[in-house]
Amino acid sequence: MTIKSFNKVISFFILFSACLYVNAQGSWELIETPTGQHLRSVYFTDSLYGWAVGDTGTIIHTQDGGDSWVEQDAGTDNNVVHVFFLDRQSGWASSWNFEGFYGTLVLKTTDGGNTWIPEAYPEDNIFMNCILYLDSLRGWMGGSPHAIVSTNDGGQNWMQSEIDTNALAFFPVMNIYFYDDNYGYACGGMFDIAGVTWSTSDGGEKWYPIDNTDAPADEVHGLHMFDSVNVLGAGGDPDLGYGVGMLRTANGGMHWDYEELTMAGNAFDLDFRNDSEAWAPLGPSQQMIYSLDAGTSWTLIPAPESTAIFDMIFTDTLHGYAVGYDGAAIRYVPKPVGVGENESRDMIGFHIFPNPSHGVVNILLEQEIGEERSLVVYNLNGKILFSQKISDLSTSIDLKGIPAGVYICEVQVLRANKECRTQQKLILR
């Protein structure tokens, strides 16, 4: 799915963009977080609700798309390395434990992270790098020195999956993905030894590692599934000038082609904004790469404010988030389309309160202007969801029937036969 043209959102991106690093498709802005700890993983269930986790038990949470964050109690001071949420309430995280035993603490919440309950993974010396759930009962974890494990009872019991044996079968696992109930992929490996992928076509009953002759020399950190058999992977080697590497299969993992890009660094994640636009953060090199042709060619840009970004996620074509070292968090700002760069607009001052709102919104205009005034609410694809004439400087509207999310509130004024518009961001919870 691609971004639809919407002609009425330019002011929103002008008014609410700061510290932007612009490219032909969009930009990223740095957003504040309440921590200086390294953030290792980020997950958003939608455009508003997200969590980021990191060192010394750090878990932070936002309910407004990253505008503000609160810290949550992880129940441990050890590093939290990965987080996953099934919905706004049900989430899991993995933490590497070094107090009392060496292994993994699996953190679980059923109230959006207000309470996290840690439980020790039953096997010592296994450090889980990733965790995901397909529903409330079926989950998967991958780890080091090797693990692809699953649960069918919500994490009460975990079972090691069967792996088809070759020289690369039992390397560390960094990420696991499922396209549907049958097809899944995992990736990992060891630096300067081998990058590995695994594939399954029977729902994880058995996994097949990459053939030795197809394997790159370094870990594969992230995968993107175009469909059940076409998959793109990202990794690389920051040493000796080998640079970012891309791995691709067109037959469900039976054969992989590896390409080294002419860009120094290591891709630590891989996420697609739409069918063709892809992004990968390069971690400590403080750079990012993006592709506009589904990973065939790539462009290198600096990360915002020289941040070291490691993990990212797009919730839809218009909302993306990423985190990294020293509490860094960035947010994607899509490029507005349909309005000429030199087109001027008369600004109409107005206020929205409360914002965020649970449905009832008050609008206050700063001045009595114009022959005719209207209030319009759009979604970020430009679809009109609400429209009403305004007869007073202040008015209240009921938007309870509109789902939670980020929207555009626009005031339109007809002045001297010229229509003037101003937009502001509106958040509904």
Do the Cβ atoms of 37 and 55 come closer than 8 Å? yes
CA distances 107 to 26, 119, 128, 131, 311, Å, are: 35, 6, 12, 10, 19
The structure tokens listed for 241 are: 């000038």
Rounded Cα distance, 173 and 374, in Å: 55
Q: Do 87 and 42 have their domain in common?
A: yes
Q: Do 296 and 326 have their domain in common?
A: yes
In a domain, 343, yes or no: no
In a domain, 288, yes or no: yes
- Give all strands of the β-sheet with 394-398 in edge-to-edge order: 350-353, 360-365, 394-398
In a domain, 85, yes or no: yes
Residue type, 168: L
Residue type, 144: S
Q: Do 129 and 176 have their domain in common?
A: yes
Q: Do 330 and 355 have their domain in common?
A: no
CA distances 121 to 30, 39, 113, 188, 260, Å, are: 36, 22, 20, 20, 37
- Residue 262 sits at φ, ψ, to 5 deg, of -85, 50
In a domain, 310, yes or no: yes
Q: Do 326 and 182 have their domain in common?
A: yes
* Sign of the alpha-carbon torsion through 289, 291, 296, 301: negative
pLDDT band, residue 57 (cuts 50/70/90)? very high
Q: Do 223 and 140 have their domain in common?
A: yes
Write down which residue in 283, 299, 334 finishes a domain.
Answer: 334
Report the candidate in 69, 109, 67, 71 with the shortest Cα–Cα distance to residue 88: 109
Write out the residue range of the structural domain in which residue 364 sits: 350-428
Predicted confidence at residue 22, as pLDDT, reads 36
Report the candidate in 21, 1, 77, 12 with the shortest Cα–Cα distance to residue 299: 21
Q: Do 229 and 355 have their domain in common?
A: no
The answer, yes or no, to whether the previous bond of 145 is cis (omega within 30 of 0) is: yes
Rounded Cα distance, 156 and 137, in Å: 9
Q: Do 110 and 33 have their domain in common?
A: yes
pLDDT at 242 over 80: no
Residues 6+ apart with CB under 8 A from 344: none
CA distances 42 to 83, 185, 271, 399, Å, are: 7, 20, 12, 30
pLDDT band, residue 23 (cuts 50/70/90)? very low
pLDDT, tens digit, 9 for 90 and up, residues 58-114 = 999 999 999 999 999 999 999 999 999 999 999 999 999 998 889 999 999 999 999
Over residues 261-270, the mean pLDDT reads 92
In a domain, 74, yes or no: yes
Rounded Cα distance, 264 and 241, in Å: 6
Write down which residue in 305, 334, 363 finishes a domain.
Answer: 334
One-character DSSP codes across 25-54: SEEEEEE--S--SPEEEEEESSSS-EEEEE
* Sign of the alpha-carbon torsion through 176, 298, 245, 30: negative
The answer to which of 20-24, 52-56, 328-332, 404-408 has the lowest mean pLDDT is: 20-24
Domain harbouring 243, CATH code: 2.130.10.10
Domain harbouring 396, CATH code: 2.60.40.1220
Q: Do 361 and 240 have their domain in common?
A: no
Report the candidate in 229, 235, 222 with the shortest Cα–Cα distance to residue 41: 222
Do the Cβ atoms of 82 and 128 come closer than 8 Å? yes
In a domain, 6, yes or no: no
One-character DSSP codes across 378-405: E-TT--EEEEEEE-SSEEEEE-TTSPSE
Q: Do 174 and 237 have their domain in common?
A: yes
In a domain, 340, yes or no: no
Task: For residue 111, count CB atoms less than 10 angstroms from its CB and return exposed for 0-12, middle for 13-18, buried for 19 or more.
Answer: exposed
Over residues 137-155, the mean pLDDT reads 97
Report the candidate in 94, 40, 18 with the shortest Cα–Cα distance to residue 309: 40
pLDDT, tens digit, 9 for 90 and up, residues 169-190 = 999 999 999 999 999 999 999 9
In a domain, 65, yes or no: yes
Predicted confidence at residue 370, as pLDDT, reads 60
Predicted confidence at residue 337, as pLDDT, reads 40
More confident residue, 422 or 265: 265
Predicted confidence at residue 41, as pLDDT, reads 98
Q: Do 227 and 365 have their domain in common?
A: no
Rounded Cα distance, 191 and 311, in Å: 18
Q: Do 116 and 147 have their domain in common?
A: yes
pLDDT band, residue 240 (cuts 50/70/90)? low
Number of independent structural domains in the chain: 2
